[in-house]
């Protein structure tokens, strides 16, 4: 199992479009992906659950990934978050 904290750094936070991009990435992997914020954990493959986290800029999320492709999944998620969901320069 991989557990890693990532900070949301894009201006608009984890809004609908960013949540859709995130779940698009997570859904490509067979691993179980959970996202936690302040003790609340949700399914990282569910757009509604991800949006319910209401993660604004500066929010720290903990990603817990377990499965055969967990390393690849973590790298893809980390790249997406660090690239600000491809929304801004």
Mind telling me the catalytic residues? 15
Q: Length of the chain, please?
A: 89
State how far the Cα of 9 lies from the Cα of 39, in Å rounded to an integer. Answer: 20
CA geometry: angle 70, 2, 56, nearest 5 deg: 100
Determine which helix (DSSP H) or strand (DSSP E) holds 5, and give its type and residue range.
Answer: strand 2-7
């Amino acid at each position: 199992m991989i557990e890693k904290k990532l900070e949301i750094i894009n201006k608009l936070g984890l809004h609908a479009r960013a949540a859709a991009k995130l779940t698009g990435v997570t859904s490509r992997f067979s691993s179980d992906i959970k996202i936690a914020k302040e003790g609340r954990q949700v399914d990282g493959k569910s757009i509604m659950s991800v949006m319910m986290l209401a993660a604004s800029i500066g929010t720290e999320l903990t990603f817990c990934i377990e499965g055969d492709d967990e390393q690849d999944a973590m790298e893809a998620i980390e790249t997406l978050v660090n690239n600000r969901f491809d929304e801004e320069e």
